[in-house]
Amino acid sequence: MCDEFIHPGLVSDSRLSRRTFGLMTAALAGTAGTAFAQDSVEQRDVSVKTADGDCDAVLFHPKGDGKWPAVLIWPDIMGLRPVFRDMGARLAAQGYTVLVVNPFYRSAKAPVVGDNFNFGDPASRAMLMGYRGAMSDAGVDSDAAAYLAFLDAQPQTDSTKKAGVQGYCMGGALSFRTAAAVSNRIGAVGSFHGGNGLVTDKPDSPHLLIPRTNAAFLVCQAQNDDASQPQMKEKLKAAFDAAGKTATVEVYAGNHGWCVPGSAVYNQAEAERAWTNLSALYKANLV
């Protein structure tokens, strides 16, 4: 869920400007391993050809010769911005080839928000919801296949190993879709404050895609999402059990958006716990 009642209002990042966006290096503010990530990771802005156009994105991989498992990152409703570059660099430093995409490429180039974006403002919120509305399920599935194909075409990707996908906010549902659309490649899925959209009563509910996947799942829900729909975690667990999938579904002591620095509700301790669990998920399954 990404509405004014659940999502934090103000999201801040002083680095956000289109003039500097494509020139930034990773700076992992507020997290461990800053110097290591900056020194050990290469990044470059890329364009990924999709059925609907060209997606602007950023690619990260460890410096030096080698091949590493691929990971796709779906950002939250505010899209590709500096903090998600930080997260991509941090993950790449752990030994992965990482693609962070602009999910809204059909509507606008990244970044699509400014340095002090207020999700509580109706006009600003409507803009983002319009961008999200331009992403059909079929379009997302097609995008996912294009992104994995792009990753697999990189000389730094070890395509003999399974790939991972992780998503935040709306990216949680997109990660479920990716795991089903590219089931032969995705071995692990991380969803962070994915909201109540993971389980709906509609035929396109993400949880109905679980039987079509071949992945292990880590689903980290926000406490206020859980409070608004406490039965959802049990429905998810039941769906994973019925499909015979390995999954951890847990409610964290943070509100919707807690994993992303710059969010009004960023919770560093819980964000680090989620990152530790994600790292373990990938280590066990991207083989």
Where residue 16 sits, what CATH number does that domain have? 3.40.50.1820
Name the domain count of the chain: 1
Residue 20 lies in a domain: yes
- Whether the predicted model's global pTM rises above the 0.85 cut: yes
Exposure b/e, 260-274, CB count within 10 A at least 16 = b: bbbbbbbbeebbebb
| Residue 39, phi-psi category: left (phi > 0), alpha (psi -120 to 50), beta (remainder) | alpha
Q: Look up the domain containing 176 and give its range.
A: 10-285
pLDDT band per the 50, 70, 90 thresholds, residue 22? low
Residue 200 lies in a domain: yes
> Residue 27 pLDDT more than 70?
no
Residue 260 lies in a domain: yes
- pLDDT tens-digit readout, 150-183: 999 999 999 999 999 999 999 999 999 999 999 9
Residue 175 lies in a domain: yes
- pLDDT tens-digit readout, 179-232: 999 999 999 999 999 998 999 999 999 999 999 999 999 999 999 999 999 999
pLDDT of residue 10: 64
Residue 5 lies in a domain: no
Residue 3 lies in a domain: no
- pLDDT tens-digit readout, 87-132: 999 999 999 999 999 999 999 999 998 877 887 788 988 999 999 9
Cβ-based neighbour number of residue 130 at 10 Å: 12
Residue 25 lies in a domain: yes
Burial of 140 per CB tally in 10 Å (0-12, 13-18, 19+):
middle
- pLDDT tens-digit readout, 52-95: 999 999 999 999 999 999 999 999 999 999 999 999 999 999 99
Residue 4 lies in a domain: no
